[in-house]
Amino acid sequence: MSDEFDWEIPHSAQPRQEQVSFDLERALDAVLGLRATIPEDAFTAGILGTERTGNGVLIGASGLVLTIGYLIAEAESVWLTANDGSVLAGHALGYDFESGFGLVQALGRFSTAPLEIGSSAALEVGDFVVVAGEGGRRHSLNARLTAKREFAGYWEYVLDEALFTAPPHPNWGGCGLIDRDGRLVGIGSLLVRQAGDSDEDTLDGNMIVPIDLLKPILDDMQTLGRTKRPPKPWLGAYVTEVDEALVVAGLAPEGPAEQAELEVGDQVLAVNRQPVNSLAELFRSVWAVGEAGVAVPLTVMRDGEPHEVRVLTATRDEFLKTPQLH
């Protein structure tokens, strides 16, 4: 992973041992580099690419690594690199679409110790945190928690309370959010332009998935590769907010929305005849209709006229390649 080390966080922004009460080097050593290779015919290849790099955090002495799921979706190979240069192959255990977390099992053991899991609920806006990437201090950043609020993503994703930090970490995918006690309290997901208290705040920062979402699902993810929750209905429509309107910006190839003849440019007005005014409201309204496979009635505005579109939903898993243990 040579070229990942050709950059570094400015020295003045890097964490220093005298700023924290825990063993900083030991904590940062638990953050690993992650590289995944995805088949060219994979469902996510066109959107996320076939070569994905980021970070993962060692959370178990047996080699269990927590990352952000999009890095390992449909991966045919995963490689993990520790700060001492040791490299191990990994197996993608699972991707929880609801939280966004992904789990990887290293096929061997690193000499570094795992990072203890903390409590994201205990964090308060304004708290000092470290956003840690692979490579130790050079790739880690002093930051502040700038917000705890709802987040909705166009890929049919909602967090009731995401974490936001600033300044932004440049290699955010799968990085570890470490609290002042040296515990893992979140996993990096996105670079965002609204890291403040509201969507109107243009503060650049990172959106972090809170670690408390992992605790109820960790055992199932390890043993089953998924949770026991019934899968939510999936439209396969990429919807964005444009001037307070919900507009279809793209469609998953051969996905439910495309097969229902939803069109790019359609403005979504209602779900099951109930008006929707935000992404979060749209997705929650779809999920409230029933489990995956349910038919969801949408009202859309197309060419100035309202249209009714009935989308027979599916689960994302139906469209993804299953990781193979080599």
Residue matched to tokens 């705890």: 148
322, pLDDT greater than 90:
no
Of the pLDDT bands very low, low, confident and very high (cuts 50, 70, 90), residue 326 is very low
Instruction: Express as a percent the part of the chain with pLDDT over 70.
Output: 96
311, pLDDT greater than 70:
yes
DSSP 168: P
Could you give the CA distance from residue 125 to residue 146 in angstroms, rounded to a whole number? 5
Residue matched to tokens 């002042």: 180
- Report the residue count for the chain: 326
Q: Are strands 51-58 and 31-37 parallel, antiparallel or unpaired?
A: antiparallel
Of the pLDDT bands very low, low, confident and very high (cuts 50, 70, 90), residue 2 is very low
pLDDT of residue 6: 78
Q: What is the three-state SS of 102-154?
A: EEEEECCCCCCCCCCECCCCCCCCCCEEEEECCCHHHHEEEEEEEEEEEEEEC
Could you give the CA distance from residue 157 to residue 238 in angstroms, rounded to a whole number? 11
Question: Phi-psi bin for 108: left (phi > 0), alpha (psi -120 to 50), beta?
Answer: left
SS3 of residue 207 by DSSP: strand
Q: What is the token pair recorded at 167?
A: 């300044």
What mean pLDDT value characterizes the chain? 94
Residue 49 and residue 36 in contact, taking contact as beta carbons nearer than 8 Å: no
What mean pLDDT comes out for the span 279-284?
Answer: 98
State the pTM of this model.
0.94
What mean pLDDT comes out for the span 213-239?
Answer: 94
What mean pLDDT comes out for the span 88-97?
Answer: 95
- At 102-158, the pLDDT tens digits run 999 999 999 999 999 999 999 999 999 999 999 999 999 999 999 999 999 999 999
Could you give the CA distance from residue 129 to residue 202 in angstroms, rounded to a whole number? 21
Could you give the CA distance from residue 306 to residue 120 in angstroms, rounded to a whole number? 43
Of the pLDDT bands very low, low, confident and very high (cuts 50, 70, 90), residue 325 is low
Of the pLDDT bands very low, low, confident and very high (cuts 50, 70, 90), residue 5 is low
pLDDT of residue 199: 65
pLDDT of residue 323: 61
Instruction: Express as a percent the part of the chain with pLDDT over 90.
Output: 89
DSSP 234: B
Residue ranges of domains in the chain, CATH in brackets = 1-228 (2.40.10.120), 237-319 (2.30.42.10)
Distances (CA, A) of 179 to 8, 16, 131, 305, 309: 21, 14, 9, 52, 47
**How would DSSP label each residue in 285-311?**
HHHHH-STT-EEEEEEEETTEEEEEEE
What mean pLDDT comes out for the span 165-188?
Answer: 97
CB contact burial 69-89 (16+ within 10 A = b; e otherwise): bbbbbbbebbbbbbbeeeebe
- At 32-61, the pLDDT tens digits run 999 999 999 999 999 999 999 999 999 999
